[in-house]
Amino acid sequence: MKDCKNYRKNLENCNCTYEPCSKKGYCCECIAYHRARGELPACYFPDEFERTYDRSIQAFVKLFMSKNN
């Protein structure tokens, strides 16, 4: 079993809606996983966009560039 002293607190702030995810609450694993794939974790995206499951850096930049124009 994984051990993380911040697991419960991390879950309170996790907006990931991907249900089979085994990394929820384990932020260090989540970040490492998405970084290796050239992505960002769900917590970088607003809830309504997170549900698209497009975690790409390009999607992040496009989303925030459009909000600032």
For residues 45 and 59, what is the distance between their CA atoms, to the nearest angstrom?
A: 9
pLDDT tens digits, one per residue of 13-44: 999 999 999 999 999 999 999 999 999 999 99
Percent of the chain with pLDDT over 90: 87
**What is the average pLDDT value for the chain, to the nearest integer?**
93
For residues 67 and 69, what is the distance between their CA atoms, to the nearest angstrom?
A: 6
Task: Give residue limits of the domains in the chain.
Answer: 7-67
Does the structure show a pLDDT above 90 at 45?
Answer: yes
